[in-house]
Amino acid sequence: MKAHYKKHILEFKRPSGTSRGVLRTKETWYIIIQDAGKTGIGECGILRGLSYDDVPGYEEKLQWVCAHISKGPQALWDELMEYPSIQAGVEMAFLSLASSDPFVLFPSSFTKGTSAIDINGLVWMGDEDFMRTQVAEKLEQGFDCIKMKIGAIDFKDEVAILSSIRKNYNKEQLTLRVDANGGFAFAKAKEVLAQLAELDIHSIEQPIATKQWKEMADLCASTPTPIALDEELIGATNLASKQELLETIKPQYIILKPSFIGGFKGSQEWIDVADSLGIEWWVTSALESNIGLNAIAQWTQKIGAKGPQGLGTGSLFTNNIPSPLEVVNGTLRTDKYKYWDFKI
């Protein structure tokens, strides 16, 4: 068994704004395993300044993994607790290697092209005109769930955009989610949550910055707008810490990004804890290329995730890996007449 990795810089079609700044490129690495004439492919993707394993020596750890690939998926996963994105990539690669088709990790009606996954349309931050344009595009494309990034422009302008949507679409017709990426101060957050509730907002992701468990628990206990934890999950690498976090904060939802939280195995641990506490969840990509997005989408279908998922990011890049994945009428599906174009 041999393994190597390849780095790929994904380039955004247009700069994409969050409360943490504007994204123009995104680094990712592919782990490729070859054994007995078969090939497996996985993706290790990080977001600078956010991923737990955005640390010096990341590529050296990838080199170590390739040199020790014969240890197998479980032993490597155990030894990579401080590198959740590499855990995810290695897990994908071994699943790919074991499959008769390296791009079909979890065979299903989704991989056959006979079913689709409901997804949300993503509206990035920018000036008010840009955000309104994006909303119009998503509605025209058939999305019945829209997630809007908030916290970059004046909140009253963001409320005005959301209000204009609600005038034309009630909550039964259109689900509205917002994502603050930790952009609000605790003192402001309660006011924000109250205003969002008046607009029948489904949920807000990460209203305040991470590591404020007491304040976040206070918000979750009294909020009129359901709260979803996202960045808060990053860095909780063992089962005990996951249990403690959710028991302490008691959010309404958690959001699972396998590349941030230890792949499918790490995500399943979060699901098990959340289910035991009555906390709901959904799955979101972390701006992976189509290699990782494909694997995450197949896993999402396999576990029976409910409601719109955050898996519509494949079209963001100018140089994504050509694949059968496509977004049609607010869903992600596999076009069985299209093929992968990945150069090993």
- The CATH number of the domain where 16 resides is what? 3.30.390.10
341 lies in a domain?
no
187 and 81 housed in the same domain: no
24 and 143 housed in the same domain: no
129 and 201 housed in the same domain: yes
**Which of 98, 127, 142 is a domain's end point?**
98
Q: Which residue is catalytic, options 156, 257, 306, 338? A: 257
7 lies in a domain?
yes
140 lies in a domain?
yes
Give the domain extent around 190. 109-334
245 and 144 housed in the same domain: yes
Other beta carbons within 10 angstroms of residue 29's beta carbon come to 19
Q: Which residue is catalytic, options 26, 138, 147, 149? A: 149
154 and 206 housed in the same domain: yes
222 lies in a domain?
yes
Tokens standing for residue 19: 């409360």
Buried b (16+ CB within 10 A) or exposed e, 151-186: bbbebeebbebbeebbeeeeeeebbbbbbbbbbbee
- The CATH number of the domain where 306 resides is what? 3.20.20.120
Buried b (16+ CB within 10 A) or exposed e, 73-103: beebbebbeebbbbbbbbbbbbbbbeeeebb
**Which of 79, 98, 117 is a domain's end point?**
98
92 and 24 housed in the same domain: yes
Contacts with 4 (C-beta within 8 Å, 6 or more apart), sequence order? 31, 32, 66
70 lies in a domain?
yes
195 and 63 housed in the same domain: no
CA-based torsion, 166, 172, 173, 176: positive or negative: positive
Strands 145-149 and 203-205, bridge-based pairing: unpaired
Among this protein's residues, is 257 annotated catalytic? Answer: yes
pTM of the model: 0.95
130 and 249 housed in the same domain: yes
pLDDT in tens, the chain (344 residues): 999 999 999 999 887 766 567 788 999 999 999 999 999 999 999 998 889 999 999 999 999 999 999 999 999 999 999 999 999 999 999 999 999 999 999 999 999 999 999 999 988 877 888 888 988 999 999 999 999 988 877 899 999 999 999 998 999 999 999 999 898 999 999 999 999 999 999 999 999 999 999 999 999 999 999 999 999 999 999 999 999 999 999 999 999 999 999 999 999 999 999 999 999 999 999 999 999 999 999 999 999 999 999 999 888 899 999 999 999 999 999 998 999 999 87
19 lies in a domain?
yes
94 and 118 housed in the same domain: no
115 lies in a domain?
yes
Our count of domains for the chain comes to: 2
Q: Which pLDDT score is estimated for 313?
A: 85
